[in-house]
Amino acid sequence: MNTRTFALLGSLVLLTITFAPATSADDPPMTHTVCHEDHEDGPCDFDEIQKAVDQAGIGDTIKILEGTYEQTVEVPYGLHGITIQGDGPTKTILDGKGDMDEHAIYIPGANDVTVKDLTTQNYGTGYGVYYSGVAGFHVDNVHAIDNGMYGIYADQSTDGLFENSLAEGHGDAGFYIGNIDACHCTIKNVISQGNLLGYSGTSASYVDILDSHFEDNAAGVVPNVLDPPPLGEPSTNMLVKGNTFIDNNNHEMSEDFQVAGFYVPAGFGVINAGGNANVYQDNTFIDHERAAIASVWLFNHPSFNQFIGNTFESTTEDTAVAQPGPGDLLHEEPVDILWDASGVNNCFEDNTHVGFETDLIHAPGHAFDAGTAWNTAGTLPDCNTPNAGPQDPTGFARQLSLMMTGCEISEHLEDDEALLNEDDCDYSTLMP
């Protein structure tokens, strides 16, 4: 056989490969139904969600019909693009009965997985919905109630969306996105209530929180860094806009739970804890016992942050602020904005108090940003002339750090006492 013959055979082989029939991966997506055996619309393909997931291909849909399922689900690594869909949060319920320590729905390493139209509840120490190490995630119309530490959670993941969902009763955060640079993720139109934190974002950047409602948490939105650099990085380039924060003063959650050993004091709408280049704009804050917004040192000097066009309201005498600036945190004197003057290029503009009629230094409806007298920082800088700094954290940052060190607090909760006894607390690891 000569060289030309070999070349011809090789060409035929290439043609055969080029025009081979499509593989199963190219088949149209399928829908796999799950229901109980006695379901009125049965029979279904499966009676267990995990069995349906294990048989699914890329892009398939797992349709879980109405019912309560005492089950857990793990999406296999690489099973990209599937949808896990119920009949609605009041109809399709995954229930851990309080004694399951696994996550209700766990998605490690499967990209573009959507979870929608269902409830996850009572999963012991497990989470409601948990994405880990994925590129692309989507949660829509999911209720996460009374799971372990987190309701709806994404770690080391990018390009995600949480929307139209509810998280309630979690010992850390209702919604969490963390440990990712350039997340390009969005949380919008969600309700987070009755958690320790409404949202927690540890070392997560480029996250937008939009048009959402945070109520009755110990603190509403807390982007943060929990390790000193270089181990930890601050949460940066966030946009927190158009949200409502109401009565985030949940002392019970504050007393019962901690975050990485830190006590979270109740009474804050937002704590920008060491965050950089974040924008807080056009939000409404109502009735916070300590501060509607706090921007303070935590392992990082918060810098390049903007606080623009926010509205602060007090509806009761207990939450009426005595001044626009820092107060006595240990004795819970409310303030609208707490800024510890650390960091550089922070600014405040067009923020307005419309609160309770009392002996306020600033009258209701008066903008108190640029030029407002400030106890330790002089005046609040506007966005044309942000603060130069850097300044060391003030005593107010020290007070907040003191409250976050996980000290024994139960003996310091009498009405006539400071929240914490400084002599009993070691805050040295938090302050520079």
Q: What pLDDT, on a 0 to 100 scale, did the predictor assign at position 2?
A: 44
Whether cis (ω within 30° of 0) applies to the bond prior to 364 is no
* Locus of tokens 């067009």: 350
Q: What pLDDT, on a 0 to 100 scale, did the predictor assign at position 50?
A: 98
- What is the C-alpha separation between 73 and 107, in angstroms, rounded? 8
Q: Specify the pTM.
A: 0.85
- What is the C-alpha separation between 260 and 172, in angstroms, rounded? 9
| Domain residue extents for the chain | 169-424
The helix or strand, by DSSP H or E, that contains position 13, with its residue range, turns out to be helix 3-18
Q: What pLDDT, on a 0 to 100 scale, did the predictor assign at position 341?
A: 76
Q: Give the contacts of 9 (CB within 8 A, at least 6 positions apart).
A: none
- What is the C-alpha separation between 76 and 66, in angstroms, rounded? 24
Nearest to 193 by CA among 210, 170, 209, 176: 170
Print pLDDT tens along the chain (432 aa): 444 333 433 443 333 333 323 335 567 899 999 999 877 766 899 999 999 999 999 999 999 999 999 999 999 999 999 999 999 999 999 999 998 889 999 999 999 999 999 999 999 999 999 999 999 999 999 999 999 999 999 999 999 999 999 999 999 999 999 999 999 999 999 999 999 999 999 999 999 999 999 999 999 999 998 877 777 899 999 999 999 999 999 999 988 888 877 778 888 999 998 899 999 999 999 998 888 898 888 888 889 999 999 988 888 877 766 554 444 554 456 778 877 777 899 988 888 877 655 444 334 333 444 334 333 344 678 888 887 766 655 555 555 655 565 444 433 334 444 444 445 555 444 544
Nearest to 237 by CA among 183, 160, 192: 183
Q: Which conformational region is residue 38 in: left (phi greater than 0), alpha (psi within -120 to 50 degrees), or beta?
A: alpha
- What is the C-alpha separation between 63 and 83, in angstroms, rounded? 8
Identify whether the C-beta of residue 172 lies closer than 8 Å to the C-beta of residue 257.
yes
Tell me which amino acid residue 71 is: Q
CA atoms within 13 A on the CB side of 91: 13
- What is the C-alpha separation between 108 and 102, in angstroms, rounded? 13
Identify whether the C-beta of residue 170 lies closer than 8 Å to the C-beta of residue 144.
yes
According to DSSP, residue 142 is labeled E
- Chain Cα centroid distance, residue 140: 15
- What is the C-alpha separation between 400 and 234, in angstroms, rounded? 18
Q: Which conformational region is residue 31 in: left (phi greater than 0), alpha (psi within -120 to 50 degrees), or beta?
A: beta
Q: Give the contacts of 80 (CB within 8 A, at least 6 positions apart).
A: 58, 59, 110, 111, 112, 113
Q: 3-class SS at 192?
A: strand
Q: What pLDDT, on a 0 to 100 scale, did the predictor assign at position 94?
A: 98
What burial class does residue 260 get, using C-beta atoms within 10 Å of its C-beta: 0-12 exposed, 13-18 middle, 19+ buried? exposed
* Burial profile 339-352: b = 16 or more Cβ within 10 angstroms, e = fewer: bbbbbebbbbbbbb
- What is the C-alpha separation between 168 and 121, in angstroms, rounded? 10
Identify whether the C-beta of residue 162 lies closer than 8 Å to the C-beta of residue 139.
yes
